[in-house]
Structure 1
């Protein structure tokens, strides 16, 4: 598969979960990849797995200088930047909105929303130096259809979904911006969505609510990110794409 041949991508949150799957899928599609994560060792391990056309950096997405340094690394090592894939995110166990702590609320918005904004702000000049490019942002179906106990998280993802739409308008015509809106996916973060009580039962009940009869896998989101980042999606921007097995229908 060469849908991203000769493209250069930065993948945030790339040490695990959806970010890792996206980095792997981008590399398989022909892209050179800079894998970034707060877990620097994890990012380095993924880059090593991907081979000589991958690099890594420890990046806190809430740090503007760290985001800028990742862009500089991509240009230094590969000469350009064509794609930004924003995957870094945070949630907590379901908590009634009135019981959420101020620190937790701030942390969720700082990572999920401000982190995306800082990453995009750092990447746009480099994307334009390359003649344009594509940005994919991992939002959530919960940004369109929320659940009790996720006031902070769902609100942050609603902000991300709308941020993607706004950026699509502002950065056109040379930069496309699309948003992936997955349902809770089978990653290490899944237990936080399901809650600490009866995790096995909660998992089965959740699967029972998905028409396609299974949990989303990181590769489901990664494959969509490849498509939306490729020239095959050249006329798509401002899309918030549900990847939820039909759960939101």
Structure 2
């Protein structure tokens, strides 16, 4: 028996590098998957590829009505909603705070923070109707420390931590667990392609060579942790934060001089 047989999982940002990895893995483990994304072409193509246990719905995470429609789709098509993965997120063009315009600040927080808030708000009643479930918010190692030139993104991911803990307290008695994953530098277009409004990608300034595990993370590294946290194996875990960064936050490995 697969871990997610007869369960329905909604993944936001479901067509991206990490999102599509999560969608495929849940599907392979027996879940019905609802792919939430603003990219209708890629979302429909992924759903068609996976077959009848996959369904695409266009989801703008900044719009509460869009969220309500997506949750309704999950319940109408598959009968219930058991797991929500708040994966959708965007990066700001790198700039110091003094040169970051308010529109950029608002857009990043709207998607990364308000989108997560709305997901929890709208999905909670559906998870309660299903007699419980799990929510995982995908944050970032940037939500655990400061990073120059990325104030909007850093602020949004720090705030997701507090939101997660509050939701865990509010929903635990309803058998709804809420946890956070903080990925480090994961090899996706998010890292390798410039954010809108800039010509430089994060990957242009980053090398994993000094760190404990000297490679970029892969989406499947995050997905494996996500599958555990949303499964019955993690039934006593809520309000927790999981870092998956290959030792990035530990600092560089110091190589002693050799004679």
Task: Give yes or no for TM over 0.5.
Answer: yes
**Alpha-carbon distance, 1:200 to partner:** 7.0
Contact 2:191 2:202 in 1 (8 A): no
Q: TM-score normalized by structure 1? A: 0.94
Q: Which of the residues 178, 181, 205 maps onto 1:202? A: 205
* 1:141–1:69 Cα change, 3 Å: same
Match of 2:28 in 1: 28
Match of 1:212 in 2: 213
Provide, for residues 173-201 of structure 1, a one-character-per-residue CA deviation record: whole Å limited to 9, x for no partner. Answer: 310001010012111110448x8459776
Unaligned runs of 5+ in 2: 251-259
Match of 1:229 in 2: 230
Contact 1:176 1:237 in 2 (8 A): yes
Q: TM-score normalized by structure 2? A: 0.90
* 1:105–1:52 Cα change, 3 Å: same
Contact 1:16 1:42 in 2 (8 A): no
* 1:201–1:10 Cα change, 3 Å: closer
**Alpha-carbon distance, 1:209 to partner:** 3.8
* 1:4–1:95 Cα change, 3 Å: same
**Alpha-carbon distance, 1:57 to partner:** 0.7
Between structure 1 and structure 2, the one with the greater Rg is: 2
Provide, for residues 130-189 of structure 1, a one-character-per-residue CA deviation record: whole Å limited to 9, x for no partner. Answer: 100000110111100221111111011000122111111111131000101001211111
State the aligned residue count. Answer: 246
Q: Secondary structure at the match of 1:248?
A: helix
Contact 1:96 1:149 in 2 (8 A): yes
Distance 1:242 1:146 in 2: 16
Match of 1:119 in 2: 119
Q: Kindly indicate whether structure 1 or structure 2 has the higher relative contact order, using CA contacts under 8 Å at least 6 residues apart.
A: 1
Considering only aligned residues, what root-mean-square deviation do their CA atoms show, in Å? 1.7
Q: Secondary structure at the match of 2:222?
A: helix
Q: Secondary structure at the match of 1:55?
A: strand
**Alpha-carbon distance, 1:207 to partner:** 1.4
